[in-house]
């Protein structure tokens, strides 16, 4: 029989044992998942998970490889926003991959689409200024019909099967412009997802 005087040391020991085991499992999981690599700008870190390997491979062939990494396009540029987004994305990815609850091929969510759009405009502001300030554009950061979205036309710039500038690069000149207009019309006539 345990006397009441011996209960406190046993309780403290049990709490420390559970905390120690939990910390050990957490640290082992973090090490196994190469957790420290996610604090870097190294694009290879994004491919620690097999589902991102095609994105890394296509980025390596893209026009942006020499100028931008995953972090430059997919995370906010301010330090606090960057690490908050990394934490949120890390949690969401860990949960989705652990529970096998994700779409293949992987798709960007609305929040990360807005971050991506902000970064396109940030880096290419001089080029996009006329488009993002036009009266017909409701807001520079939107994926709504009629809104401005860089990846609508340039979806293959950083990733994708072709990893190119899209229609105009593969079809230069008037033929490319005609094909681009057809592609935009076809895309805008599709029902919303």
Cα–Cα dist 20/180, whole Å: 59
pTM over 0.75: no
Q: What is the pLDDT of residue 179?
A: 66
Q: What CATH number does domain 47-189 carry, 1.10.10.60, 3.40.1080.10, 3.40.50.1360, 1.10.3820.10?
A: 1.10.3820.10
Cβ atoms within 10 Å of 85's Cβ, excluding its own: 18
176 falls in which pLDDT band (50, 70, 90)? low
How much is the average pLDDT of 44-72?
A: 84
Output 39-45 pairs: Cβ under 8 A, ≥24 positions apart.
Answer: 39/86, 41/69, 41/70, 41/71, 41/72, 42/69, 43/69, 43/70, 45/70
- Asked if the model's pLDDT at residue 7 lies above 80, the reply is yes
Q: Is 173 helix (H, G, I), strand (E, B) or coil?
A: helix
111 falls in which pLDDT band (50, 70, 90)? very high
């Amino acid at each position: 029989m345990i006397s009441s005087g011996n209960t406190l040391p046993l309780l403290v020991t049990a709490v420390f044992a559970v905390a120690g085991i939990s910390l050990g499992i957490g640290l082992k999981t973090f090490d196994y998942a190469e957790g420290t690599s996610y604090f870097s700008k190294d694009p290879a870190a994004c491919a620690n998970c097999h589902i991102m390997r095609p994105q890394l491979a296509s980025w390596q062939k893209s026009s942006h490889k020499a100028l931008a990494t995953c972090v430059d396009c997919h995370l906010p540029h301010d330090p606090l926003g960057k690490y908050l987004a990394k934490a949120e994305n890390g949690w969401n990815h860990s949960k989705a991959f652990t529970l096998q609850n994700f779409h293949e091929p992987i798709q960007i969510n609305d929040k990360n689409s807005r971050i991506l759009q902000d970064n396109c405009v940030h880096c290419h502001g001089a080029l996009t200024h006329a488009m993002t300030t036009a009266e017909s554009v409701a807001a520079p950061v939107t994926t709504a019909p009629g809104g401005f979205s860089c990846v609508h036309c340039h979806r293959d710039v950083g990733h994708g099967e072709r990893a190119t500038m899209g229609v105009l690069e593969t079809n230069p000149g008037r033929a490319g412009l005609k094909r681009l207009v057809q592609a935009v019309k076809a895309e805008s006539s599709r029902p919303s997802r």
